[in-house]
Amino acid sequence: MNDVEVRELRYFIAVAEELNFTRAAERLGIAQPPLSAAIAKLERKLGARLLERTSRRVSLTPAGAVLAGQGRIALEALGAAVERTRRQAARPDCLTVAVKAGGGTSLLQKVTQRCAQDPRLPDVCLLFDHPGGPAAAVRAGAADVAIVRTPFDQRGLDFDVLLAEPRVAVLPRGHRLARRRKLCRADLAGEPMPRWKGHADPATVAYWTGTDTRPAPGPVLPRSARNRHAGTGTTQTPEGPEISDMNQLLDVVALGQAVAYVPVSIARRHACAELIFVPVSDLSASEVVAAWPEYSRARTLADFVRTAAQAAAELPEQAVALA
Question: Which residue type is seen at 183?
Answer: L
Backbone angles phi, psi at 197, to 5 degrees: -60, 130
Instruction: Tell whether 188 and 269 lie within a shared domain.
Output: yes
Number of domains in the chain: 3
pLDDT in tens, the chain (323 residues): 468 899 999 999 999 999 999 999 999 999 999 999 999 999 999 999 999 988 789 999 999 999 999 999 899 989 999 998 998 888 888 999 999 876 667 888 899 999 999 999 989 999 988 888 899 999 999 999 999 998 889 989 999 999 898 999 999 999 999 999 999 999 999 999 999 887 678 888 899 999 987 765 554 444 444 343 333 334 567 888 899 888 999 999 999 999 999 999 888 888 899 999 999 999 999 999 999 998 888 899 999 999 999 998 887 655 444 33
Q: Are residues 69 and 127 in the same domain?
A: no
**Are 184 and 265 within one domain?**
yes
Residues 159 and 292 in one domain: yes
In a domain, 322, yes or no: no
**What CATH number does the domain containing 122 carry?**
3.40.190.10
Q: Are residues 171 and 231 in the same domain?
A: yes
Q: Of 81, 102, 125, at which residue does a domain stop?
A: 81
Last residue of a domain, one of 55, 81, 107: 81
Give residue 109's identity as a one-letter amino acid code: Q
**CA atoms 147, 153, 154, 155: torsion sign:** negative
CATH code of residue 68: 1.10.10.10
Q: Domain containing 110: what range?
A: 91-163+286-315
Residue 299 lies in a domain: yes
CB atoms < 10 A from the CB of 183, how many? 20
Phi and psi at residue 248, to the nearest 5°: -65, -40
